Amino acid sequence: NNQIYKELWSGNMGRRIQHFLFTLLFIYILASIPLIFKISNGHIEINISNVLNQSIILFSNILKGDISILETQMNTKIIEPAGFTFILLVSSMFISLVFSLLFGLFLQKVIFVKWLINSMKLLAKIPDFVIILVAMLAAVNFYKFSGYRIITINNSGSAINLWFPILILSITPTVYMIKNIDSRYHQIASEDYIKTAISKGLSVNYINLHHVYKNIKPYLLTDLSKALSLSLVSLFIIEYLLNVSGLTKHIFMSDYSLELGIVNFSVLILIAILCYLILRLILFFFEKGFIHE
């Protein structure tokens, strides 16, 4: 029996169970952090007892089969903010994917693109929060100069127009992906089969689509998941600073609780997974339309 259990645990089913348990633990830890660390009078205070008390109440209710408190948090505080976060994440990652493929792969021979890629490599060395703050200062100065308001806040204190947060959120993943695609483009372009295709008189677009892209794609998918992780980190800063009523703003509210955090981070992970699947679907239709004639 022990041998059977070991084989099951080390097999595909066992690994899936391990990943699921690790994800639950990861969500619980993330949800607990805002309760452990509190800022009071300019000092950071650590309060573990608050987390323990809320954990005991939450898990005792779950063991009794009572998940009404989680359902209440979902219905009253999660659904609408989740919509804003979903729009921000999917839109920014779509922009990142399109621009990284255009400038990192298909427009490599254009002179201004080479200058743009070199600029992106410099931006990649700057921390994310610095880029976000500079962009916000630029928006404020633009309003002072032109009178056109890029960031608009309504009476409830939330951002009305989402295009500016989407644009700012797309910067970090775009810089990351363009830099990596450009690096792999030059690596693949030096291969013998690319030189053979050029000697046969094939067009640059055909070579990029049917040879370079196909070899870059495995790296692109890996970079896509990493870029999505970078966007999730930036999402916390952008939703807070630009007053977007998304999921991450709950972390900074006074009524934050453990059950709210667990539901909040669970939905955020589901949104990230859905976003990745949508991007994969976009690539699938792109390949069907332009590569597999």
User: Does residue 167 have a pLDDT over 60?
Assistant: yes
CA dihedral 137, 138, 144, 148 (to 10 degrees): -120
Q: What is the residue-wise DSSP string for 151-182?
A: S-B-TTS-BS--HHHHHHHHHHHHHHHHHHHH
Q: Are 85 and 270 in contact (CB under 8 A)?
A: no
- At residue 276 the predicted structure's pLDDT band, cuts being 50, 70 and 90, is very high
pLDDT value of residue 293: 52
pLDDT value of residue 37: 76
DSSP state of 119: H
48 versus 227: which is more confidently predicted? 227
CB atoms within 10 A of CB 292: 7
- At residue 157 the predicted structure's pLDDT band, cuts being 50, 70 and 90, is very low
216 versus 293: which is more confidently predicted? 216
228: CB partners within 8 A, 6+ apart:
89, 93, 173, 272, 275, 276
User: Does residue 33 have a pLDDT over 70?
Assistant: yes
State the amino acid at position 66 in one-letter form: D
Q: What percent of the chain has pLDDT over 90?
A: 13
pLDDT, tens digit (0-9, with 9 covering 90-100), for 102-134? 888 888 777 777 788 788 778 777 887 788 788
Is the entire prediction scored with pTM above 0.75?
A: yes
